[in-house]
Chains A and B, each alone.
Chain A
Amino acid sequence: MLLLLNALSVRTPQWRHGYELMKETGLQSGTLYPLLMRMSEQALVEAEWREPERPGRPPRHAYRLTAAGVALAGEVAQRAGGIAQEFARA
């Protein structure tokens, strides 16, 4: 989930497609879709049907973080930064 949260938070306002997220995170479809479904149920991710970029293709589902998702991603990044600093000090 952290990988996905991170990937979605990199370009927050942009809509991202499932296959693109798979390539970026290295997650398989069997992991990615259950995560997206759960995050959508928890209102961390919003989904929307987008017109296909290439003619003859079906409309695609696209995803982006909601405000709650962005806040969670920020919190996680902050905590990760704190842990990294502690490691550096030690």
Chain B
Amino acid sequence: MKTSIARAMVTLASACMEEKHSEWGLAMQAELEEAIAAGKPLRFAVGCLAASLRRMPVHNEGRFSLTAHAFALGLLIPVAALQTGLALFGFPHSLARGSALTSGQNALLGGMYHATIPLLVALMLVLAIGHLGMAWLLLNRDWQRVVKAGALTLSTMIAIVTFMSVLNLEVGLALLQCAILMVELAVLGGLASWHADLLQPREADLAAG
């Protein structure tokens, strides 16, 4: 167990190294075998991970990685959780109870509004899944699929706002979510551009070599 944890920690330490120092990560992994033989794998692994994490803010790749993780874990995933919560326990269900409707809407169109609830729930869940997808693909630096997930999320958001407007429902919260999504997409665009800049020197090195 101790050995497995130590191996995982040293692998993580290697992954946190910048590309040009990747061989130092391999060196740590090789030396871990000696630490395991000496019976002190955890002590060695903790040191390697601490050293690697300490260097992350120093190099551009590390700063990019920290920013991408902070954005995914600090904004995209909480927004996905919020949207899942809203879809399963929030707005569409208040519509079902009739509390989101005016008395006129309630009396004349209650049945029709109730029929729209599953569709609204499905659209809001697509929105949540889109956010989770963007977070996952961002951490994998899969920019082509980030664009697809972003387009799906944006089109779902537009569909929700249009749908709610047609039904004459209160769209304030949906517009706020739409604004947050625009900010998220702008940040993703910035991160993609930053990542492309990171790759340029490497490509130049390859071309020179």
Contact = CB atoms under 8 A, between A and B. Distances in A.
B26 interface: yes
Given A33-B51, A34-B55, A61-B23, A17 B46 contact: no
Contact of A29 (B21, B30, B48): B48
A11 interface: no
Contacts of B43: 28-29
Interface string A23-43: 000001111111011000000
Interface of A: 17-19, 22, 28-34, 36-37, 47, 52, 57-61
Interface of B: 21, 23-24, 26-31, 33-35, 38, 43-51, 54-55
A58 B24 CA distance: 14
Top 7 A-B pairs ranked by shortest CB distance?
Answer: A29-B47, A30-B47, A61-B27, A19-B34, A30-B50, A30-B51, A18-B31
Contacts of A59: 30
Given A19-B38, A33-B51, 17 more contacts: A18-B27, A19-B35, A28-B43, A28-B47, A29-B44, A29-B45, A29-B48, A30-B46, A31-B47, A33-B24, A33-B47, A34-B54, A37-B24, A47-B27, A57-B30, A58-B26, A61-B24
Nearest to B34: A19
A61 B24 CA distance: 8
A22 B32 CA distance: 12
Contacts of A17: 31, 34
6 contacts: A18-B28, A18-B31, A19-B31, A28-B43, A60-B27, A61-B30
Contacts of A36: 24
Contacts of B29: 58
A10 B49 CA distance: 29
